[in-house]
Amino acid sequence: MNILVTGGAGFIGSNFIRFMLKKYPGYKIVNFDKLTYAGNLENLKDVESILNYQFVKGDIIDVQLVESTVKQHKINCIINFAAESHVDRSINDPAIFVKTNVLGTQTLLDVGYRNNIQKYLQISTDEVYGSLGEKGYFTEETPLSPNSPYSASKAGADLIVKSYYETYKMNVNITRCSNNYGPYHFPEKLIPLIITNAIENKELPVYGDGLHVRDWLHVKDHCSAIDLVLHEGTPGEVYNVGGHNEKRNIDIVKGILKYLGKSDELIKYVEDRKGHDRRYAIDPNKLIKELGWEHTYTLNEGLKETVKWYSDNQQWWKNIKSGEYVAFNQVKCNDKSL
């Protein structure tokens, strides 16, 4: 397979590229990424010299560049991770979310269709389903009811993907996963923010009463799910991905403090996020029953391992917090060996 991975310099995309290069040494992987603030080529430093890995700096709304990349590398699969992904940023600046997440998706689909690719896989989110009460789970049949500009743009993208299946019979799949965590997670998101702030003895901001519930998925378990859907997903189908690891935000924060041996006094409750969904929880049964997916991490194991990763890789996140990774990206983009 020759796979175009968009957004491969981000958190999940970079973990997926590493996973695929190791599992399928014969596949060619082209990482197409705009390198926004969230894109960091340091995430892929250990694989950049592998011959069948290539990086192309570009925007997914740039039709010509996407098309020439697809043709040049004889791409037959597109996996779209590229997105503006931070809910708080979408509240302040929704426009870029619509551009990248909706128009970008449509651009990739168009180019893919014109070039007869075999599979288009859209990486979506459980946030498109909206919020749950205290009970119940999101299934693939749950109506879309997004509440933030981020989740609305992802829901819009999902509908465009579906329309390419219904209208053009293009071989598409959508995966909708719960909150991911693990190595190379940008430290603006809850788990890496709390770990890195706690290591530096800084305040740990917790929204509202801290009782919002999220269903956590280790990024490596997510990668194995995407791999399965890529190879075995039924055309046109949506698959939910989640590890039945529901936890209240405050318990995640306290768990991290326990692993680091730090005091709860660092916790600071801050004003709640606007439109903050109360609970997300995924029913992953379709993926388990139809494709035989299994998750391997419990939240306790995964969180402990993640805390250790951030403790052992402080230079990686300190470069982000100080802004130095931007210079690293620049050097890599000028490096003709990439």
So which residues are the catalytic ones?
126-127, 150
38 binds ligand NAD (CB under 6 A): yes
Nearest CB to ligand NAD, comparing residues 110 and 262: 110
d(CA 40, CA 87): 19
d(CA 64, CA 41): 23
34 binds ligand NAD (CB under 6 A): yes
| Sign of the dihedral through C-alpha 97, 66, 124, 7 | negative
DSSP letters along 58-115, please? --TT-HHHHHHHHHHTT--EEEE------HHHHHH-HHHHIIIIIIHHHHHHHHHHHT
33 binds ligand NAD (CB under 6 A): yes
10 binds ligand NAD (CB under 6 A): yes
d(CA 271, CA 288): 38
Tell me which of 77, 172, 177, 303 binds ligand NAD, using CB under 6 A.
177
Q: Give the type of residue at 191.
A: I
Interaction mask 139-158, ligand NAD, x per CB under 6 A: ---------------x----
Segment 58 to 117, residues that bind ligand NAD, using CB under 6 A = 59-61, 81-85, 100, 104
Please check whether residue 179 is in contact with residue 215, taking contact to mean a CB–CB distance below 8 angstroms: yes
179 binds ligand NAD (CB under 6 A): yes
In our burial notation (b when 16+ CB lie closer than 10 A, e otherwise), range 271-288 reads: eeeeeebebbbbbbebbe
Q: What are phi and psi of 47, to 5 degrees?
A: -120, 0
Of all residues in the shown chain, the one whose CB is closest to ligand NAD is 10
Query: Smallest distance, Å, CB 173 to ligand NAD?
Result: 14
Tell me which of 35, 78, 198, 256 binds ligand NAD, using CB under 6 A.
35
- Choices 109-117, 159-167, 177-185, 247-255; region in contact with ligand NAD by CB under 6 A: 177-185
Nearest CB to ligand NAD, comparing residues 165 and 184: 184
Contact residues toward ligand NAD (CB under 6 A) are 6-7, 9-13, 33-36, 38-39, 59-61, 81-85, 100, 104, 123, 125, 154, 177, 179-180, 186
